[in-house]
C-alpha cells in the first residue's frame, strides 16, 4: 500500500479541488467542534485549579492550654499520619491578625489581656485526612480544642468533586458529540459520492483501494480543521490569560504554558483521528458487493 | 486491521478447457418479487462473439449483471472462466472484475475525473506501473477516437463521447471477457461501425465478447452467434444469426401501430 | 419575501403567426473555449416534425439545450414561440419549460420517485388539480406501455423502460414544443416504432416535434424534414429527407474500417 | 402556496422514508448541538444566580462613636439614595457573634470590657451604590468608621461581570456554531440531492415549488432534533436539581420551574429556525438557472 500513498494523496487533492464544498463543510465542522472542545477543556482545567486552591486552605487548627508544652505537642502532632507540617501561631500573632482582620472594629487599648490562646496550624496531605488528624490531635495532652472547619471543608470537598464529576461528564459528552457530528458530516460527504464508490467497485477496485483515499481525506480535513481550531484556542488563551491575571487576582488561573503543550497536540490528534475514523466507518457503509 | 490490505490472488481459467461462460438452470428474482430470468442455460466458449437481443425489459442487462457479479443468481449456477460466481467471496469480486471488462448501458463514468483519468483508473487499481499508464491510456483513447478530448470531464462530453470513454475504459485492461450493454445506443452509424470493428478485433485477439444490443443493422451485418431473450427466457440461440425478435419477425413495421392511441387525448 | 411565491405568467405564442423555433446567427462557446455551434440559422414552424442528425459530438444536444434554456447563446438569438430566450428572466424559465417537453438523452428521472410519481411531478408543478393527476398519469404510462411498472423506482427498471418513463413525462403536460434527444437509443425496433408513432400522433395534434437521433432506419422510413449537423454547423436542411451524414453517404460500411487498428496492440 | 402545503408535506415524508440516512444525520446533529446549547444555558443561568447571590452579601457597615445618637444616625442613613434598610447591631450582639464565630478561640471571661462598637448594617439596592453610600455615611455625625469591604465588593463585582461577559460570549459562539454546523449538514444533504434539484428545474418546477419541501424538511428535522434535545435537557434538569439542592446547600441553584418554561420553547424554536434557514440557504445555492 505504501507504493500507492503518493497516488492516493494526489487523488485526495484532486477531489478536494473539484468539489470543495464538501471539504469546506467537513473542515468547518471539525474546526467549530474542536474550538468548543478546546475552550471547554481550558475552562475545566481552570475550575479544577480553583477547586484545588480552595482545598489547600482547609487546615486543622489545634488551640493550646495556657500551660501546654509547645515542643511536646508539636512532636506528637508531627507523629500523626497525614500531617504535613505544624506551624506555631502565638497568641500575640493571633491577636494581631484578628485586629487586622477586624479593621478598627476592635480597639486593642480596651483589652487588658489577650483573650486568644496559642495554636498550631496543621497542614494535612489531603482533605480525607482532615477528620482523622483532628481526632488524634484532640487527644494530645495540652490541646484544649481542635477546629478544622468541618463545614467549609465539606463544602470544598463537595465542590471539588462536583466540579470534577460534572467536568468529566461534560467533556466526555462533548467528545462523543464531536465524534458523532463529524462522522455524520463525513458520512454525508461520502453519501454524496456513493455513485462514485459504486462505479469504482464496478470496474474492479479492491475495497482497500477505494477506502484509503477517503480515509486520507478524512484525516486531512480533520487535521486542517483542528489545527486551525487549536491555533485559535492557543492564541486566544495566551492572549487573554495574562490580562485576566491582572484583573482577577483572587482566582487562580492556569498559565498558558502549563495548559497548551498538552491541550494543542491533543486537540489536533483528536481532529485527525475523528476525521479518519468517520471516513472509514462511512465508506464501509457504502462498500457492499 | 479492518481488512485494509488483504489481496487474494484470483485467476480465470482462460485456457479454453472450460467454457468462458457456463450458465446452468439460472433463475433471477428481484427483491420486489419480479422474476427477470427463467431457467437460463447457456455456454459461451473462449473467443466467441455473441449478440444478446430481445425487447426492452427482456432481461439482457440482468443477465450481464450476473456475469460480473453485480447480481447473484436466485438459483442455478453462473461460472465465468471456471469460477462459480455464487461462491465468490466478497473480497474476490474486484479481481473477477479486472478480468471482465464492462461497457455499461448508462456509462457509469466517474464525474469528477476527466476522460483520461477515468480510463487510467481502471489501470491504477490493478497496480500497473505508473510510467506505463499515460501511454496505454492515450492508445486506447486514440482507438475510440477521443484523443482530443482526453482532458474533458464527462459533463463536458456529448452522449456518444461519454459512451466511447466507457468503451475505452473497458478495453484498457485487456479483459478475458468483454460485456457490452448497448454500447452504441448513442453513436451514429459510422461510429457504431467503428466500435463494432474494434470489438471484432478484440475478439480476434482471443477475448470473449458479449454484446447486448437493439441495433438490428449491426446484428444483421455481423453474422455472429445471436441469443434471443424474451420475458426472461432464452428463446433462441442462433449460430451466424440475424436480428429477430420472436413472433413479429424482424425490423420496423410502418403500417401497424401496435398501441391503441384512441384512448388518449393528445 | 425571498421571492418564495412570485409567479410570473408567461405564454408562448402558439398561434402559428410566428415560427415555433427561430434561431438566428447562433454561436455557442462552452466555458472551456470549445465552440459547439457556429452561425446556426433555423426556423421551425408550428406543427412541424423535424429530425436532427449528425455524428457524435456534432452539436445536436447543445442545440436542443438552447431551446429549453439549459444553455444561453454566446451570440445570436434563440426565439421559442416568439419569446427571446436570451432575455428570459430567471424566474420565467420554469414557465418556458412547462410549454416545452423534453426527453433527455440520459433520461434524468428522479431516483427517489416511482415511475408514476416522476410523471406526476411534471403535472404537480403546474398546479394541476390533485384529483386529475392519477388518471392522466395512468393514461400516459399506458400509452408508452408501462402500466404494469408504474410503482417501480427507476433503479428497478431496465434501460428502455426508464427511457419510456422519460417519454411519458415529456408528454403528460401536452407541450407546444417537444424536444427528444435520442429517445429510442435504448429501445428495441418494435418499441422504437411504437414511440415514433406516438410522436407522430403528438405532431398531428399540433405539437412541434424535434427529434435528435442516430437511428437511420427511423429517419429513412418516416420521411420528415431532416436537419444535418456537422461539427457545430447546420450543413443540410432537407424536406422529407433521409438519413445521411455529409460526405460518406448513409449507413454502415462493412468493408471500410475507418480507424487504423495497427497502431494498437490488443 | 397554502393549497400545496399538503402536497409538500407528503413529499417531505416520502423523501425521508426513501432516504432516511440524510434525515438521521441532520436530526442527530441538531439534537446534539441543542443539547449542548441547552445544558450550557442552564449552567450559565446558575452561575449568574451564584454571582447574584454573592453580590447580595455585600453591604456597608457604619461603626458608631460611643456617644453617638442612634436614632439620628439611622434617620440620616435612611435618607441616602441607594439605601434600602439600615439594621442596628449593638456592641453586645456584635461581641456575641464574634465569640460564636471564633468558636472558643476567644475567652469572654478574659474581657473586662466589650472592645467592639455599636454599628449599623446598611443594605444597598445595588453594588454600584456601595461606594456612594459609604462616602455619605462617613460624613454623618456619630459615625466613626465606615466599612464596605471594598476588596470583597470589587471581587464580587468583577466576578459577576466576568461570568456575565464570558457567558454571553460563549453562548453567542455556541449559537453561531450551531447555526454553522447545522446549515453545513443540511447543505450536504441538499448537495447529495443536487441532481434532483437540477431535474426538477429541467421539467419546469418554479423555484418556490422546489424550495418549500426542502425548507419544510429542514424545519421538521430541526424540530424533531430539538424537541428530543429539549426533553432530555428538561427531564435531566428537573431530575438532577432537587438532588443537587440537597447535597450542595451552599450554592444557589436555579429551580427547574424557573428555568425550563423559558429554555425549552427557546431551544425548540431555535432548532426549527436553524433547520429551516439552513435548508433555505442551501437550496438557494443549487438553484441556478
Ligand atoms: N459542457 C461542455 N463543455 C465543453 N464542451 C462541451 C460541453 N458539452 C458538450 N461539449 C462538446 O460540444 C460538442 C457538441 O456536444 P453535443 O452534446 O451537442 O453533441 P451531440 O451532437 O449531442 O452528440 P451525441 O450524438 O454524442 O449526443 C461535443 O464535441 C462536446 O464534446
Ligand atoms: N432492481 C430491479 N428490481 C425489480 N425489477 C427489476 C430491477 N431491475 C430490472 N428489473 C426488471 O427486470 C426486467 C429485465 O430488466 P433488464 O434491465 O434486464 O432488461 P433489458 O433486457 O436490459 O432491457 P433494455 O433493453 O430496456 O435495457 C425488466 O422488466 C425490469 O423492469
Ligand atoms: Mg438493459
Ligand atoms: Mg447528444
D174-190 pLDDT, tens per residue? 888 888 898 888 888 88
Which residue is listed with cell 408514476? Answer: C116
Extents of the domains making up chain B: 3-99+176-260, 108-174
In the predicted structure, residue D84 carries a pLDDT above the cut 90? no
Domain match, A161 and A282 both: yes
pLDDT computed for residue B3 by the predictor: 44
What pLDDT is attached to residue D275? 93
Cβ pair D111:A108 closer than 8 A: no
C204's grid cell: 398531428
Across the strands, what pairs with C101?
C178
Closest CA to A60 of A117, A126, A141, A115: A126
Residue A120 has what pLDDT? 86
Give D252's pLDDT tier (boundaries 50, 70, 90): confident
Query: What pLDDT score was predicted for residue D200?
Result: 92
Which pLDDT value is given to residue A237?
Answer: 92
* Per-residue pLDDT reduced to its tens digit, D191-238: 888 888 999 999 999 999 999 999 999 999 999 999 999 999 999 999
Residue C227 banded pLDDT, cuts 50, 70, 90: very high
Residue B134, pLDDT > 60, answer yes
Last residue of a domain, one of A92, A113, A148: A148
CA D84 to chain centre: 27
Residue C4, SS3 per DSSP = coil
Site of grid cell 446547600: D249
Looking at the fold, whether D162 and D208 belong to one and the same domain comes out as yes
**pLDDT band (50, 70, 90) for residue B137:** very high
Q: pLDDT-derived band of residue C261, with 50, 70 and 90 as boundaries?
A: very low
Lowest mean pLDDT among B230-239, D15-24, D273-282: D15-24
Q: How many domains, chain D?
A: 2
Burial of residue C128 (number of CB atoms within 10 Å: 0-12, 13-18, 19+): middle
- Which residue reads 482532458 in cell numbers? B151
Ligand 2, pocket-test mutation among B27, B37, B51, B62, most atoms within 8 A of CB:
B62
**What mean pLDDT comes out for the span B233-252?**
73
Give the pLDDT confidence score for residue A246 in this predicted structure. 75
Residue C194 in contact with residue C221, Cβ under 8 Å?
A: no
Work out the mean pLDDT of chain D and round it to a whole number.
83
> pLDDT grade, residue C2 (50/70/90)?
very low
Kindly give the distance from the C-alpha atom of residue C86 to the centroid of ligand 1, in angstroms, as a whole number: 21
Confidence grade of residue B100 (pLDDT, cut at 50, 70, 90):
very high
- Indicate if D124 and D262 belong to the same structural domain: no
Ligand 1: atom nearest CA of C60 is: 21
Residue B247 has pLDDT above 50, yes or no: no
Strand order in the sheet with B35-44: B35-44, B21-29, B75-80, B83-84
Reported confidence tier of residue D108, pLDDT bands at 50, 70, 90: low
Confidence of residue D149 (pLDDT cuts 50, 70, 90): low
Ligand nearest to the CA of C181: 4
CA distance D15 to C222: 43
> Computed from CA positions of residues B158, C109, C139, B260, in that sequence, does the dihedral angle turn out positive or negative?
positive
Instruction: From chain D, pick out residues whose CB is under 8 angstroms from the CB of C7.
Output: 206, 208
Q: Same domain for A192 and A217? A: yes
Could you identify the residue written with the cell 490493478? Answer: B126
Confidence check: pLDDT of C186 > 50: yes
Continuous H helices in A82-149: 91-102, 130-138
Q: Please say which residue of A127, A148, A169 terminates a domain.
A: A148
pLDDT digits (tens, 9 = 90+) for A139-178: 888 888 787 766 666 666 666 777 788 888 888 988 888 8
**Of C94-103, D9-18, D220-229, minimum mean pLDDT range:** D9-18
Of the candidate ranges B5-19, B124-138, C81-95, C99-113, the one whose mean pLDDT is the lowest: B5-19
Contact B34 C192 (CB under 8 A): no
d(CA B99, CA B82): 13
Please provide the average confidence, as pLDDT, over all residues in chain B.
87
Cell numbers at residue C169, please?
413525462
Residues A21 and A160 in one domain: yes
CB-CB under 8 Å, C112 with D14: yes
Tell me how many degrees the CA angle A94-A97-A103 measures, rounded to the nearest 5: 140
Which atom of ligand 1 lies at the shortest distance from residue B155's CA? 1
pLDDT at B265: 38
Distance CA A105, CA C19 (A): 106
CB atoms within 10 A of CB B132: 10
A49 and A181 in a common domain? yes
DSSP state of C249: B
The pLDDT of residue C160 is 92
Ligand 2 within 6 A of CB of C161: yes
Number of CB atoms found within 10 A of residue D145's CB = 16
Residue A104 banded pLDDT, cuts 50, 70, 90: low
Angle subtended by helix axes D207-247 and D194-202, to nearest 10: 150
Q: Which CATH class name applies to B3-99+176-260?
A: alpha beta
Categorize the per-residue pLDDT at C244 as very low, low, confident or very high, splitting at 50, 70 and 90.
confident
Percent of chain B with pLDDT over 70: 89
Same domain, D238 and D193: yes
D176, with CB counted inside 10 A (0-12, 13-18, 19+), is exposed
Average pLDDT score over residue span D99-119: 70
- Per the CB < 8 Å rule, is B258 touching C185? no
User: Is the predicted pLDDT of residue B225 greater than 50, yes or no?
Assistant: yes
B121 CB neighbours in chain A (<8 A) are: 200, 203, 205
Percent of chain C at pLDDT exceeding 70: 89
Read off the pLDDT band of A250 (50, 70, 90).
low
For residue A106, what pLDDT is reported?
Answer: 65
Cβ-proximal residues to A7 (8 Å cutoff; 6+ apart), any chain: B124, B130
Taking Cα atoms as reference points, which of D215, D267, D246 lies closest to residue D38? D267
Yes or no, beta carbons of C169 and D211 under 8 Å apart = no
What's the CA-to-centroid distance between B158 and ligand 4, angstroms? 5
Look at strands D143-147 and C75-80 and give their pairing.
Answer: unpaired
Which pLDDT does position C182 carry in this prediction? 93
Q: D192, D206, D213, D285: best mutation site toward chain C, by most C Cβ within 10 Å?
A: D206
- What is the C-alpha end-to-end distance of chain A, expressed in Å? 22
Ligand nearest to the CA of C56: 1
pLDDT of residue D118: 85
Q: Which pLDDT value is given to residue A103? A: 60
Distance from CA of C215 to the nearest CA of D (A): 25
Distance of CA B186 to the CA centre of its chain: 15
| Cβ neighbours of residue D153 closer than 8 Å, sequence gap 6 or more | D58, D127, D130
pLDDT at residue C263 in the model = 31
CA distance D245 to D251: 8
> Mean pLDDT, chain A, as a whole number?
83
d(CA D199, CA C70): 11
Do B266 and B259 form a contact (C-beta atoms < 8 A)? Answer: no
pLDDT at B149 over 50: yes
Residue A144, φ and ψ in degrees, nearest 5: -85, -30
Q: What is the CATH number of the domain that holds D120?
A: 3.30.70.3040
Final residue in a domain of this structure, among A117, A148, A179? A148
Cross-strand partners of D152: none
- Determine the structural domain holding residue A160 and report its residue range: 2-54+155-287
Most confident of A53-67, A195-209, B32-46, C78-92: B32-46
Q: Specify the pairing of strand A143-147 against strand C177-181.
A: unpaired
pTM over 0.80: yes
Would you state the cell numbers that stand for residue B67, as one nine-digit string?
Answer: 456475469
Q: Which of B32-46, C196-210, D241-255 has the least mean pLDDT?
A: D241-255
Contact D208 C5 (CB under 8 A): yes
Contacting chains of B (3 CB pairs or more, <8 Å) are: A, C
Which DSSP category does D117 fall into?
P
Rounded Cα distance between B242 and B219, Å, is 6
- Which chain B residues touch C263 with a CB distance below 8 Å? 139, 142-143
DSSP 8-state class, residue B150 = T
DSSP 8-state secondary structure symbol assigned to residue B186 = T
* Residue A58: pLDDT band with limits 50, 70, 90: low
DSSP-derived pairing of the beta strands C83-84 and B225-230: unpaired
**Averaged pLDDT, C36-51:** 96
Mutate to test the pocket of ligand 1, among B107, B151, B152, B158 (most ligand atoms within 8 A of CB): B158
Amino acid at each position: 500500500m505504501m507504493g500507492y500513498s503518493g497516488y492516493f494523496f494526489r487523488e485526495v487533492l484532486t477531489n478536494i479541488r473539484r468539489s470543495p464544498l464538501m471539504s469546506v463543510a467537513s473542515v468547518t465542522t471539525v474546526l467549530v467542534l474542536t474550538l468548543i472542545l478546546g475552550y471547554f477543556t481550558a475552562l475545566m482545567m481552570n475550575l479544577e485549579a480553583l477547586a484545588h486552591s480552595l482545598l489547600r486552605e482547609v487546615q486543622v487548627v489545634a488551640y493550646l492550654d495556657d500551660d501546654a508544652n509547645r515542643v511536646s505537642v508539636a512532636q506528637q502532632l508531627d507523629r500523626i499520619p497525614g500531617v504535613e507540617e505544624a506551624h506555631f501561631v502565638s497568641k500575640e500573632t493571633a491577636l494581631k491578625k484578628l485586629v487586622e482582620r477586624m479593621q478598627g472594629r476592635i480597639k486593642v487599648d480596651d483589652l487588658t489581656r489577650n483573650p486568644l490562646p496559642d495554636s498550631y496550624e496543621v497542614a494535612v496531605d489531603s482533605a480525607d485526612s482532615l477528620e482523622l488528624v483532628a481526632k488524634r490531635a484532640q487527644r494530645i495532652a495540652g490541646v484544649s480544642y481542635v477546629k478544622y472547619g468541618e463545614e467549609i471543608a465539606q463544602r470544598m470537598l463537595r465542590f471539588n468533586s462536583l466540579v470534577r464529576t460534572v467536568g468529566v461528564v461534560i467533556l466526555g459528552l462533548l467528545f462523543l458529540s464531536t465524534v458523532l457530528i463529524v462522522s455524520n458530516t463525513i458520512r454525508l460527504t461520502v453519501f454524496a459520492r456513493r455513485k462514485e464508490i459504486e462505479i469504482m467497485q464496478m470496474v474492479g477496485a479492491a475495497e482497500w483501494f477505494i477506502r484509503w483515499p477517503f480515509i486520507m481525506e478524512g484525516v486531512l480535513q480533520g487535521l486542517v480543521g483542528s489545527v486551525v481550531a487549536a491555533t485559535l484556542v492557543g492564541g486566544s488563551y495566551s492572549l487573554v490569560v495574562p490580562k485576566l491575571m491582572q484583573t482577577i487576582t483572587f482566582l487562580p488561573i492556569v498559565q498558558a504554558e502549563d495548559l497548551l503543550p498538552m491541550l494543542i497536540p491533543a486537540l489536533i490528534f483528536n481532529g485527525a483521528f475523528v476525521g479518519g475514523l468517520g471516513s472509514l466507518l462511512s465508506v464501509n457503509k457504502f462498500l457492499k458487493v | 486491521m479492518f481488512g485494509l490490505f488483504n489481496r487474494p490472488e484470483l485467476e480465470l481459467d482462460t485456457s479454453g478447457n472450460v467454457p468462458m461462460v457456463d450458465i446452468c438452470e439460472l433463475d433471477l428474482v428481484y427483491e420486489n418479487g419480479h422474476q427477470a430470468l427463467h431457467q437460463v442455460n447457456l455456454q459461451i466458449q473462449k473467443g466467441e462473439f455473441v449478440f444478446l437481443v430481445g425487447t426492452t425489459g427482456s432481461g439482457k442487462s440482468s443477465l450481464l449483471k450476473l456475469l460480473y457479479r453485480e447480481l447473484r443468481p436466485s438459483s442455478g449456477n453462473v461460472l465465468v472462466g471456471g469460477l462459480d460466481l455464487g461462491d465468490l467471496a466478497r473480497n474476490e469480486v474486484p479481481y473477477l472484475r479486472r478480468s471482465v471488462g464492462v461497457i455499461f448501458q448508462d456509462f457509469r463514468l466517474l464525474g469528477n475525473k476527466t476522460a483520461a483519468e477515468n480510463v487510467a483508473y481502471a489501470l491504477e487499481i490493478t497496480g500497473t506501473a505508473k510510467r506505463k499508464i499515460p501511454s496505454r491510456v492515450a492508445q486506447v483513447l486514440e482507438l475510440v477516437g477521443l484523443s482530443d478530448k482526453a482532458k474533458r470531464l464527462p459533463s463536458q462530453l456529448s452522449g456518444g463521447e461519454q459512451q466511447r470513454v466507457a468503451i475505452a475504459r473497458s478495453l484498457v485492461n485487456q479483459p478475458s471477457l468483454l460485456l457490452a450493454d448497448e454500447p452504441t445506443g448513442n453513436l451514429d452509424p459510422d461510429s457504431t461501425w467503428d466500435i463494432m470493428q474494434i470489438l471484432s478485433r478484440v475478439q480476434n485477439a482471443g477475448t470473449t465478447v458479449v454484446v447486448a444490443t437493439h441495433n438490428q443493422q449491426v446484428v444483421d451485418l455481423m453474422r455472429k452467434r445471436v441469443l434471443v431473450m424474451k420475458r426472461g427466457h432464452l428463446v433462441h440461440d442462433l449460430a451466424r444469426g440475424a436480428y429477430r425478435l420472436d413472433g413479429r419477425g424482424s425490423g420496423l413495421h410502418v403500417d401497424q401501430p401496435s398501441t391503441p392511441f384512441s384512448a388518449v387525448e393528445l
